[in-house]
Structure 1
Amino acid sequence: MTFDYKKEYKEFYLPPKKPGIIDIPEINYIAIQGKGDPNEPDGEYKNAMGLLYGIAFTLKMSYKGEHKIDGYFPYVVPPLEGLWYQDGSDGDIDYSRKQDLRWVSMIRLPEFVTRDEFDWAVREATERKKTDFSKVEFFVYREGLCAQCMHVGSYDAEPATLQKIHEFLHEQGYKTDLSGQRLHHEIYLGDPRRTAPEKLRTVIRLPIREG
């Protein structure tokens, strides 16, 4: 049976539209850090997607080759995720300044992928695809206490959902705790190339602390 992280960890990937509080453990990712408008054609963000998925599928399909990963199990590649911030801001995202965005684009790694196996995948993908994968990193992220909910609609409509989260936090006695280590987090459950903007589903997650 193929393991699907979205189904096995619904509390992380399929929250309700109503905000709630969750504690997120340490998770390992394939990641690339960059900056700029994610909508820019042929921009840094678009190029990062090819690199991320190149490593993700090298690991997923490794069982077909000579290199066998200890503890490997069949799995669905987890959804694309992103950490977002802007220099000079207080942590909130200004959607009118997309050119100033900084991001960490990432895909969750299965637990059997150690740093050594990740390094193997980078070497393997580099050799097979004749592409420079040096920007891709093994990224460990421990979010801790967060508020999250499902946003349904276009990415540009996210401020309304963020306002809903802020109102919830005020009612519950919490505050956002955005910093250089704790960032605005999104998980993308729809493909914008194939899904109407009003039907896109995005998990929005913010780090919090008691107010």
Structure 2
Amino acid sequence: MAAYDYKREQKELYRPGGKPEIVMVPAMHFAAVEGMGDPNEEGGAYGAALSVLYAVAYTVKMSPKAGRFIDGYFPYVVPPLEGLWWMADGAGGVDCGNKSGFHWISMLRLPDFVTEGDFAWACGEAARKKGLDTSCARFFTLDEGLCVQCLHTGSYDDEPATVAKMDALLLREGYRKDISQTRRHHEIYLSDPRRTAPEKRRTVIRHPIA
């Protein structure tokens, strides 16, 4: 049985085109870690969060080999890293010129068969096997609903140009951006920044709208 690949099977969510589009996003469960600060800081909170997230996510993925047989389990590819981003004031978008002021929730999507009990088991198992403090990880449900999204190709610092195209579509179609303290600027990372030149990085940018 081939592993289920969310990027391939749910293209409307993970593979938008280079032109902005309106999309209805269903509720999803994630392994998530919340923090603040510059994601590029060496040895910083963001890097530590990613270590915990991937350890927990791959523990869930490999659960049958650990003797944890989750009801409804199927082989799958761990989905791409995602992030919700905002500034300290909680309003508006993100200020790429003030990375130290970033607040974020880093996330890896979990299949629907994963329960909070399964997640707690995975955190404990990852902590035991990897020697990590996984207490920062939480089972997080995100129900975004109506959004605008677009594929951004290039440096993260150049995202404002793509956001401007998204905002122009909203103006033409009679929508408004609805970013708030509960609905955030959302990014999905289709490229590994460690292996991809900045000008070739592919990132889905998604904003809640009304």
TM-score where L is the length of structure 2: 0.98
Q: Distance in 2 between matches of 1:65 and 1:33?
A: 28
Q: Report how far residue 62 of structure 1 moved.
A: 1.1
- Equivalent in the alignment of 1:28: 29
**Distance across 2 between alignment mates of 1:200 and 1:86:** 23
Partner of 1:45: 46
Task: Determine the C-alpha separation between the residues in 1 that align with 2:88 and 2:132.
Answer: 30
- Number of positions where the alignment pairs a residue of Structure 1 with one of Structure 2: 209
The within-5 A match list for 1:156-171 is 156-171=157-172
The whole-number CA distance in structure 2 between the counterparts of 1:79 and 1:21 is 21
Q: Post-superposition, which runs of at least 4 consecutive aligned residues in structure 1 deviate over 2 A? A: none
1:77 maps to 2:78: yes
1:61 aligns with 2:79: no
AA in 2 matched with 1:202: T
Higher percent of residues as strand: 1
Distance change (3 Å), C-alpha of 1:89 and 1:121: closer
| Runs of at least 5 residues in structure 1 that lack an aligned partner in the other structure | none
1:87 Cα offset (Å): 1.5
Deviation at 1:90, TM superposition (A): 3.1
The residue type paired with residue 43 of structure 1 is G
Aligned residues with identical type, % of pairs: 54
Indicate how the Cα distance of structure 1 residues 182 and 65 shifts in structure 2: closer, same or farther if over 3 A, else same.
same
CA shift, 1:108, in A, is 0.3
Structure 2 unpaired stretches of 5+:
none
Shift of 1:89: 5.5
SS in 1 for 2:27: strand
Q: Which residue of 2 aligns with 1:120?
A: 121
Deviation at 1:25, TM superposition (A): 1.1
1:85-128 per-residue CA deviation (whole Å, 9 max, x = no partner) reads 00226312111111000000000001111111001101111111
Query: Quick check: 11-20 or 87-96, which moved more?
Result: 87-96
**1:13 and 2:14 matched:** yes
AA of the residue aligned to 2:160: P
The whole-number CA distance in structure 2 between the counterparts of 1:176 and 1:12 is: 18
* CA displacement, residues 128-157 of structure 1 (integer Å, 9 cap, x when unaligned): 122210000000010011000100001011
Q: Distance in 2 between matches of 1:178 and 1:8?
A: 28
The alignment partner of 1:175 has SS state of coil
Q: CA RMSD in A?
A: 0.8
